[in-house]
Amino acid sequence: MAQDTLTITDNRTNQTYTIPIEKGAVRAMDFRKIKTDPEDFGLMTYDPAFMNTASCRSSITFIDGERGILRYRGYPIEVLAEHCSFLEVAYLLLFGELPNEAELQDWVYEITHHTMLHETTKKFMEGFRYNAHPMAMLVSTVAALSTVYPQARDIRDPKNRLLQIKRLIAKMPSIAAMSYRHSLGFPYVYPDNDLSYTENFMNMLWRIVEPKYVATPALARALDVLFILHADHEQNCSANTMRSVGSAHTDPYLTTAAAAAALAGPLHGGANEEVLKMLDEIGSMENVSAYVKRAKEGHGKLMGFGHRVYKNYDPRAKIIKRTAEQVFEVTGRNPKLDIALELERIVLDDEYFIKRKLYPNVDFYSGIIYQAMGFRPEMFTVLFAIPRTVGWLAQWQEMLNDPEQKIARPRQVWTGHEVRQFIPLAKRTTAAPLP
């Protein structure tokens, strides 16, 4: 018998089945042949929240959570964060290889020349309430781009797809900046093609009356590094949404809006905002020990610690911690950093957290940097969505090009009634109480 197989005995029938194991996985469809009789539907696997189900084969992002490893297309995240620009990494994620100089120049040119928003999109955004949350504005506006580019519906044509990919990557910062300025009541700033991706974003966010906005290089680089770190993270909730909605052949604007909606949830992209609230609540270094003690006693979790996949130091958190120091050299030290460092020191030395493998995650330090740079907490998830758009689009392309993929359609384990006798309205005696 081949070694890479799994033998299962069905104790209901005493039948034995052998199914192949490939890359550490068995195919759920192989279980369907396990039946009690020919009429039986066959065995299903039940996996709420996809705790142990691979939904695709992928060659984009690799994570080894036990060892704290994150790689894009085989390159360690630390190397990319040190040597590349965000758009260089975007190219790598989307096309599988790092660009050479000429390819990068073309790519940057293309993205730069798609950053403008149609005036109707601007008008659309002006219609939001003065206090609209920037993330809700971003989600709705990305969906609205579908009305501006109806040809995007032809998702089978690779050239057409690439055009929409460029537009989405280019327009995300423009939409994000407009949503920010709208919430402040400031006039919108148009993109400046002389500037890099992050410098231009900063220009659209913060330019007031100066004829030319000049970003502080250290801050522009820090934002670029943060964008690299957030660009993809394999099959997380929003990537899964992107693949699932995209599998219905929905256009990329509506699909990306759906993924961004998933990211907007506090369990996904919103945790960095919670970290800031927690650090405010702790207030000073002397209170850290007592706060940790309360968390251990079950009174709330320490935000920014723990991860479903990483059971080691999140490699992105290490880079962010270094980046924080570079940002603070320009902005001045955010006093919350000292509280954060003390919290990390105590946690990493505490039996409770060591036993549960709870380490700082990407959200622990990112909020502190964003705040020092002048962002309000409502913008944090928007700052996550800009670079993650690249990851979503890479996952979307991979899904569309995968001959094994079809429309995503999970099964269910039925727990409801068998067929019931209908009772006419006048004869019903008991009603289900209104919730």
> 3-class DSSP state for residue 22?
strand
Q: Interface residues with ligand COA (CB under 6 A)?
A: 271, 295, 301-308, 356, 358, 361-363
Identity of the residue, 174 or 361, whose beta carbon is nearer to ligand COA in the bound complex = 361
DSSP codes, 255-278: HHHHHHHHHTSTTTTTHHHHHHHH
Candidate list 224, 232, 314, 363, residue with the active-site label: 363
Q: Any catalytic annotation for residue 268?
A: yes
Identity of the residue, 69 or 98, whose beta carbon is nearer to ligand COA in the bound complex = 69
Identity of the residue, 186 or 270, whose beta carbon is nearer to ligand COA in the bound complex = 270
Backbone angles phi and psi of 418, in degrees to 5: -75, 180
Are 81 and 225 within 8 A, CB to CB? yes
Are 346 and 286 within 8 A, CB to CB? no
Are 263 and 384 within 8 A, CB to CB? yes
Q: How far is the CB of 70 from ligand COA (least distance, A)?
A: 12
Cα(365)–Cα(318) distance, integer angstroms: 9
Candidate list 30, 268, 338, 350, residue with the active-site label: 268
Q: How far is the CB of 145 from ligand COA (least distance, A)?
A: 28
Q: How far is the CB of 130 from ligand COA (least distance, A)?
A: 30
Q: Which one, of 191, 241, 220, lies nearest residue 391 by Cα?
A: 241
Q: How far is the CB of 298 from ligand COA (least distance, A)?
A: 7
Q: How far is the CB of 399 from ligand COA (least distance, A)?
A: 23
Identity of the residue, 302 or 386, whose beta carbon is nearer to ligand COA in the bound complex = 302
Identity of the residue, 240 or 361, whose beta carbon is nearer to ligand COA in the bound complex = 361
Q: Which residue is nearest to ligand COA (CB)?
A: 306
Helix ranges (DSSP H) in 207-302: 217-229, 237-246, 252-263, 271-282, 288-296
Cα(309)–Cα(360) distance, integer angstroms: 13
Q: How far is the CB of 302 from ligand COA (least distance, A)?
A: 4
Q: Which one, of 385, 181, 356, 113, lies nearest residue 268 by Cα?
A: 385
Candidate list 182, 233, 307, 314, residue with the active-site label: 307
Identity of the residue, 306 or 387, whose beta carbon is nearer to ligand COA in the bound complex = 306
Residue partners of 78: CB distance under 8 A and separation at least 6: 315, 318, 319
Cα(258)–Cα(240) distance, integer angstroms: 10
The residues annotated as belonging to the active site are: 268, 307, 363
